[in-house]
Amino acid sequence: MDQRVAFTLPFGNGIEVHWYGIIIAAALILAVLIGCLEAKRRGYRSEMVLDFMLIAIPLGIIFARLYYVVFEWPLYAADPIRMLYIWEGGLAIYGAVIGGVLAVFIFSKWRKISAGELLDIAAPSIILAQAIGRWGNYVNQEAHGTQILDPAWQWFPAGVQIFENGQLVWYMATFFYESIWNLIVFAVLMLLKKKIKVRGGIFALYGILYGFGRFFIESLRTDSLMLGHLRISQIVSIALIAGGILFLIFMPRRQKQLPAYDGFYSLSWTPEQLEAYKAENSMKNHKKKDSKDNGDEDKN
């Protein structure tokens, strides 16, 4: 049996459930729980995180796939429909982050919440999910480094055994290196989350620290997405580091003090306020619908 398959569901010809999917789902669930706790600490109801994920998950998947496809286009040029076959693999974490950031700005405009605040809530969850998700690469025997020829280094976690041409071969366990680095970054963010006051500062620190580790670990990998002779992830890492540093230097001087949030997701809202808000919105939506219907009738 394929070691990537956790179990098979007895439906149709059998639906295989892969360890990779289970690991990613577990990482996502834990990330949501961490996000809910951080949101509550900042005065928001946990529903905010759940509503945000309804936007962030689809956009994260779409952009993770697009990012990969763009830089591996020769694999899909002859049969573009294969771009939709995400079960064959090919999701890039930097693409997922881009999709998530886009979701933050969409959600912040919709619910009138500071984008920087949302990014800070998300940052620890993102890096923890990345740390756990890397073990999916271990199951899939991917995202490893160069071959280890010296027997003195042929042990885990320095290396990992990969099946190749019917035999086990030792490769650098870059997935493990990044997982450990991400856990360190998570610990740092959790320690500093109360000390960095500038909105967006925790996310900026995430970009700096993750980018720093990813830059060096990426140089050891054998499956990097390339742009000519340059590794795309290293270019993005440099951009994250530079952008994060510039943000932390200059943004505190420009940022204005905003009043405390007092909207739909506020912990201070009573059940009566929430029901009144929902009723008011429902009434507005009905009026808009009636107005649109009357407009259509006039056109006819």
Residues 125 and 35 sit within 8 Å (Cβ to Cβ): yes
**CA–CA separation, 44 and 268 (whole Å):** 9
Q: What is the pLDDT of residue 239?
A: 97
Q: What's at 113, amino acid-wise?
A: I
Place 254 in a pLDDT band, splitting at 50, 70 and 90: confident
pLDDT of residue 6: 86
Handedness of CA 252, 255, 259, 265 (dihedral sign): negative
Task: Give the pLDDT band of residue 90 (cuts 50, 70, 90).
Answer: confident
Question: What value does the mean pLDDT take over residues 46-56?
Answer: 96
* pLDDT one-digit tens code per residue, 94-121: 999 999 999 999 999 999 999 999 999 9
Least confident of 13-17, 29-33, 191-195: 13-17
CA–CA dist 196, 192 (Å, integer)? 6
CB 46 within 8 A of CB 39: yes
pLDDT, position 146: 94
Indicate the DSSP class of residue 82: G
pLDDT at 257: 73
Instruction: Write down the pLDDT at residue 2.
Output: 64
Residue 31's pLDDT is 95
Mean pLDDT of the chain: 90
- As a whole number, mean pLDDT of residues 27-54 equals 96
pLDDT of 159 reads 94
Mean pLDDT of 69-76: 93
Q: What is the mean pLDDT of residues 32-54?
A: 96
Q: Where are the alpha helices (DSSP H) in 47-114?
A: 47-71, 93-111
Q: What is the pLDDT of residues 122-169, one digit of tens each?
A: 999 999 999 999 999 888 888 899 999 999 999 999 999 998 888 999
- CA gap 214, 178 in Å, rounded: 7
pLDDT digits (tens, 9 = 90+) for 60-71: 999 999 999 999
Residue 121: Cβ within 10 Å count: 27
Most confident of 16-30, 33-47, 279-293: 33-47
DSSP at 143: S
pLDDT at 260 over 90: no
Tell me what the mean pLDDT of segment 62-87 comes to: 92
Q: Which amino acid is at 86?
A: I
> 107 in helix, strand or coil?
helix
pLDDT band at 245 (very low <50, low <70, confident <90, very high): very high
248, two tokens: 């932390």
Q: What's the whole-model pTM score?
A: 0.89
Q: What is the pLDDT of residue 291?
A: 67
pLDDT of 298 over the 80 cut: no
State what percent of residues in the chain have pLDDT above 70.
Answer: 94
* Residue whose pair of structure tokens reads 């000519």 in the numeric block: 228
- Comparing CA positions, the residue from 185, 173, 175, 174 lying closest to residue 128 is 185
Q: Is the dihedral of CA 219, 131, 246, 68 positive or negative?
A: positive
Q: Do the bridges between strand 226-227 and strand 15-18 make them parallel or antiparallel, or are there none, so unpaired? A: unpaired
State how far the alpha carbon of 114 is from the alpha carbons of 82, 89, 96, in Å: 38, 35, 21
Query: Is the pLDDT confidence value at 299 over 70?
Result: no
